[in-house]
Amino acid sequence: MITTLRLLHAATALAGLSALLLPAAPASASPATAAHPVPVLRRALPEPPPADIVRGELGDLNVEAPHAMAGYSRTKFPHWAMQGNQCDTREIVLQRDGQNVVQDDQCRAVSGTWHSEYDGKTLTAASQADIDHMVPLAAAWRAGADQWDTPRRKAFANDLEHSQLIAVSAASNRSKGDQTPDLWRPPLRSYWCTYSRAWIDVKHIYQLNVTEAEKNALGDMLNTCEH
């Protein structure tokens, strides 16, 4: 009898200890407010090739006067495309380029911080960020994309594989507009090396033209890679 009571007391104590050690079951979040953190350890902008490779790519680019803007429309470059799990291209880039990004159940970034490489600004809300096309859509049109079909323009406008998309401050993106590097460069000179490498590589991949002034400006920016 005494042994039985001791066993019962031991079982009761063990159950109480287990209850203390086991974590409580999480409360279920409502579908409308569910959010989840997306850890990002570093910027994941696809790295363009090194300067020596890119110099060769620059030399391969066709030099030609800009094509006319007749017929151009951003709608001819469908974006932002859905990428799965309710995420479109913009949200994927915000997740990729940010730190401590939290998304809701519709993949929208509800919190996080972003470092704008163009001007060095720290952005504390997704609404402060624009997703810049490294080679702007209108600039691509003038460089030969006017001859493409819609699927190719869509692929270009949503390219997550190459250095074509980057989250930057809205102010820097709008200052840039559709200008080529002979007319606009990032305010931070320290980013000129990456910027020129990315621009050249994207144009090389998509076989887009450059103007003579643009080519000269890109060569000057590549020189900063050596310092």
The total of structural domains in the chain comes to 1
Q: Report if residue 8 sits inside a domain.
A: no
Report whether pLDDT(219) > 50: yes
Is residue 29 predicted with pLDDT exceeding 70? no
pLDDT of res. 227: 63
Look at residue 30 in the predicted model and tell me its pLDDT. Answer: 39
Q: Is 143 among the domain residues?
A: yes
Residue 216 inside a domain? The answer is: yes
Residue range 208-226: mean pLDDT, rounded = 97
Q: Over 80: is that where the pLDDT of 41 sits?
A: no
Do 182 and 157 form a contact (C-beta atoms < 8 A)? no
Average pLDDT value over all residues in the chain: 86
The answer to whether residue 4 sits within a structural domain is no
80, two tokens: 């932002």
User: pLDDT tens-digit profile of 66-122?
Assistant: 999 999 999 999 999 999 999 999 999 999 999 999 999 999 999 999 999 999 999
Which stretch of 14-18, 41-45, 76-80, 130-134 has the lowest confidence by average pLDDT? 14-18
- Asked if residue 3 is part of any domain, the answer here is no
Predicted confidence at residue 7, as pLDDT, reads 36
Residue 164 lies in a domain: yes
Look at residue 22 and tell me if it is in a domain: no
Please tell me the predicted confidence (pLDDT) of residue 45.
Answer: 82
Q: What percent of the chain has pLDDT over 70?
A: 80
Among 170, 127, 167, which Cα is nearest to 40's? 167
On the question of pLDDT at 212 being above 90, the answer is yes
> What range does the domain containing 156 cover?
34-40+48-226
Task: Read off the pLDDT of each residue in 59-64 and give the average, rounded to a whole number.
Answer: 98
pLDDT at residue number 44: 67
Decide if 104 is inside a domain.
Answer: yes
Confidence at residue 226, expressed as pLDDT on a 0 to 100 scale? 83
Q: Which pLDDT tens digit goes with each residue over 110-164? A: 999 999 999 999 999 999 999 999 999 999 999 999 999 999 999 999 999 999 9
